[in-house]
Amino acid sequence: MNEDLYINDNENIVKLGKLLRSRRETLGLSLREAARRANVDKGTVSHIEQGHIRNPGADVLMAIAQVLRMPMGDLFAVAGWMPKGELPTLMPYLRTKYNLTPDETKELEEEFARIAREKGISFNEYEGPLDGEDEF
């Protein structure tokens, strides 16, 4: 994989930063604590969240993603860069592909959650089959 990700779209840089900050805040982590857990400089995390770093190091994003319990594919999808053969989870995919507002995203999440409950489906990536288990 490329050591650095070059995101040549300012809009995607801002989206990536907003996604990271939103997830960090959802988990109740301060900027300092998230940076400490990721072993990344607090200023670097702050600059990424603010959209000031055009080419965040892949290792830095991986460390932050691990702390925030986010699949790398989600970050790459929002940034506009996806590794070959990896797909994002549902909500980041829909948000990115269809340029949804936060309210629209929330409405979709609630609807998908309702349908999932009714059908007994989990959208948790860790509860599904391992690669190859569901292939015949």
Top CATH class, 1-83: mainly alpha
pLDDT (0 to 100) of residue 88: 64
Please, are residues 75 and 86 in contact by the beta-carbon 8 Å criterion?
A: no
Q: Please tell me the pTM assigned to this model.
A: 0.59
Q: How far apart (Å, rounded) are the C-alpha atoms in residues 61 and 49?
A: 11
Domain boundaries, given as residue ranges, for the chain: 1-83, 89-123
Q: How far apart (Å, rounded) are the C-alpha atoms in residues 121 and 118?
A: 8
Q: How far apart (Å, rounded) are the C-alpha atoms in residues 102 and 99?
A: 10
Q: What are the tens digits of pLDDT across the range 18-62? A: 999 999 999 999 999 999 999 999 999 999 999 888 778 888 988
Within a 10 A sphere around the Cβ of 59, how many other Cβ atoms?
A: 12
